[in-house]
Structures are given as C-alpha cells and as structure tokens.
Amino acid sequence: MQEIANFISTVGFPVFVAAYVLVRLEPTIKSLQQSITVMTIVLAKTNGVDYEEAKKIAGVGEVK
C-alpha cells in the first residue's frame, strides 16, 4: 500500500488514474477487438468478399 501511495505522490494523481483505467480496461478492449474481427469475417463472407481482400480494401496491416 505504501508503494502505491509513493507512486501517486511521485507522478501525480491523474497519471495514476490513467494507468489504473488502462490496466482495468485492457481485457475489455482485447475482447472487443476480437469481436470486431469475427464480425468483419462474417460480414465479408456474407457479402461474398474474401477476408484477405476485405483487409486490403480497408488498408489493415499496411505500413504507412
């Protein structure tokens, strides 16, 4: 507990809150990303578009 209090006093309360929220939301963000990927595949197949072709159209994975 002392380490947390030390961290807050060193970097400030807003940084601590941002780090806490990021750590708490990371699993949710990963789950949402997986759901979006699955929905993209289903939508592409429903419309007769190859998934790899859909990724190219959307520009996913390209180095900018």
Q: Measure CA 23 to chain center.
A: 12
Domains held by the chain: number: 1
Domain assignment present for residue 45? The answer is yes
Per-residue pLDDT 10s for the chain (64 aa) are 788 888 778 878 888 888 889 999 999 999 998 898 888 888 888 888 887 877 777 777 655 5
The closest of 60, 15, 14, 6 to 37, measured between CA atoms, is: 60
pLDDT for the residue numbered 57: 73
Domain assignment present for residue 7? The answer is no
pLDDT for the residue numbered 61: 63
pLDDT for the residue numbered 56: 78
Domain assignment present for residue 16? The answer is no
Domain assignment present for residue 53? The answer is yes
Q: What is the pTM of this model?
A: 0.55
pLDDT for the residue numbered 49: 82
Question: Rg of the chain over CA atoms, in angstroms?
Answer: 20
The parent domain of residue 31 ranges over 22-64
Domain assignment present for residue 11? The answer is no
Domain assignment present for residue 61? The answer is yes
Domain assignment present for residue 42? The answer is yes
pLDDT for the residue numbered 32: 92
Domain assignment present for residue 39? The answer is yes
